[in-house]
Amino acid sequence: MTSNADLRARRDAAVAPGVSNPTGVYAAKAENAFVWDVEGRRYIDFAGGIGVQNVGHRHPKVLEAVRRQLDGFTHTAFQVLPYELYVELAEKLNALAPGPARKKTILFTTGAEANENAVKIARAATGRPGVIAFSGAFHGRTLLTLALTGKVSPYKTGFGPMPGEVYHAPFPSPYHGVSERQSLDGIEDLFRYDIGPDRVGAIIIEPVQGEGGFHVAPFGFLRELRALCDRHGILLISDEVQAGMGRTGRYFSIEHSGVVPDLVVTSKSLAAGLPLSAVIGRAKIMDKVGQGGLGGTFSGNPLACAAALAVLEVIEEQGLLQRSLDLGALLTERLEGIARRNDVTSIGEVRGLGAMVAIELVADRATREPATALARKVATLARRDGLVILTSGYAGNVLRVLVPLTAPDEVVEEGLSILERALIEAEA
């Protein structure tokens, strides 16, 4: 029987080390919220392929849709021989995106690719080169999206220089002492010292930061940001790559605030594990790019489009938006209860939106010093006992929960119990 250790040795010999494998667990099969490794060990999946499995691993409706498409064709390149699936998915995403204006959609392959193209669209539509992003942001690993990303190590290390005309403002985080006013003032400082607002084409923000540690942008701040963009003719891009497709209880997390962005980027759970992403925007903006200016060989692959259409049906038929809110309440209540235990003193904050929930571990609740090593230890102990959970945050001290929305309560409770025991053991 192939073992995890055998595969780790083969991986070290054959695979470039730049891609990390912190779990060391090699998957053999998966079903809903469970994954089994090559040694037959079962794990509860609180990682969801980094937020990709909102409808669970191998949802029957998704599998059937992909099988049907396999009997037709797997690839023609949409810009050579187009197909209905792409058009139908664009129509559905246009209808779901927030705001009353007429929308248009273009499909890509990854979240980074979609974010990069959203910036291209914004620059073409406004004639302005500047882009403002936020500290702690993660928008991808291409050079442009690396420039947008607000974290140096490990993402930017050794890959410079970064593309120009990208600037960062502080993301509002009350727990870390950054108020909404300070964040808005940070943007005004950029206008004052670095780039005039008349040269800024877009501001891009994750309404809930993913890799950044599940910091939720205050709704009032998002409304102020919308007003600022309107004053200066700047487009607002909502990066919904990790927070979208029902994870927070809405199709797109920015909907909670009532703010209507100009462009929305989505990926990850859009196609339940098949590579697909989208940029959805007001038609007047999307139409600014001429034919041939956007695209890609595999963009909008028909198998992925079939999967995405099935995902949208599953979200609607199984009521997963409400399920996300209910699951978020369950997660928050349990995690806050763990934080109140006398033998768990490391949880500094429980935060999130809907079923996008995280705990930040600190060495001291007064100083809020990040407990990075402790977070890694907790994740390792949890994995030993059958739970896969990921760290995040600028210091890697945040444990994030991205369990499938289709996971039964008893499975979620089992996973939380494993996490609780890991926290107690790690602190002992």
What is the pLDDT, as a whole number, of residue 177? 95
Q: Residue 411 to residues 45, 136, 326, 418: CA-CA distances in angstroms?
A: 10, 31, 15, 11
Domains: count for the chain: 2
Count, residues in the chain = 428
Task: Give yes or no: residues 41 and 113 share one domain.
Answer: no
Q: What is the pTM of this model?
A: 0.97
Assess whether 240 and 345 both reside in one domain. no
**Does a cis peptide bond (omega within 30 degrees of 0) precede residue 154?**
yes
* Same domain? 44 vs 179: no
Helix pair 84-96, 302-317: axis angle to 10 deg: 40
Which range of residues forms the domain containing residue 313? 63-317
Which of 317, 347, 370 finishes a domain?
A: 317
145, 275: one domain: yes
Q: Which amino acid is at 186?
A: G
Statement: residue 1 has pLDDT above 90: no
| CATH classification at residue 414 | 3.90.1150.10
Domain limit, last residue, from 283, 301, 317: 317
- With CA atoms as reference, report the closest residue to 58 among 412, 408, 355, 404: 404
Q: Are residues 13 and 109 in the same domain?
A: no
Percent of the chain's residues with pLDDT above 70: 100
Phi then psi for residue 426, to 5 deg, are: -65, -30
178 and 31 in one domain?
Answer: no
Domain holding 190: CATH number? Answer: 3.40.640.10
CA pair distance 384, 76, nearest whole angstrom: 44
What tens digit of pLDDT does each residue of 170-214 get? 999 999 999 999 999 999 999 999 999 999 999 999 999 999 999
User: Residue 326 CA to chain centroid, in angstroms?
Assistant: 20
Q: What is the pLDDT of residues 222-262, one digit of tens each?
A: 999 999 999 999 999 999 999 999 999 999 999 999 999 99
Confidence label for 29 from pLDDT (cuts 50, 70 and 90): very high
Last residue within a domain, chosen from 284, 317, 350: 317
- Residue 49 pLDDT: 96
Helical pair 409-427 and 372-384, crossing angle rounded to 10 deg: 130
Distance of CA 346 to the CA centre of its chain: 25
User: Is residue 313 within 8 Å of residue 64, measured between CB atoms?
Assistant: no
Residues 147 and 197 in one domain: yes
Count other C-beta atoms under 10 Å from residue 189's C-beta: 14
* Average pLDDT value for the chain: 97
pLDDT at 235: 99
Determine the 3-state secondary structure of 304 from DSSP: helix
Average pLDDT over residues 339-348: 97
Six-digit token string for 162: 């970064």
Q: What is the rounded CA–CA span in Å between residue 307 and residue 85?
A: 10
**pLDDT tens for each residue of 271-329:** 999 999 999 999 999 999 999 999 999 999 999 999 999 999 999 999 999 999 999 99
Q: Do residues 233 and 367 both lie within one domain?
A: no
Answer yes or no: are the C-beta atoms of 204 and 119 closer than 8 Å: yes
pLDDT band at 56 (very low <50, low <70, confident <90, very high): very high
Hey, how many other C-beta atoms are within 10 angstroms of the C-beta on 182? Answer: 14
Cα–Cα distances in angstroms (integers) from residue 221 to residues 224, 259, 377, in the given order: 5, 10, 35
Q: Do 286 and 382 share a domain, yes or no?
A: no
Do 181 and 104 share a domain, yes or no?
yes
* Whether 100 and 206 share a structural domain: yes
| Shared-domain flag, residues 285 and 347 | no
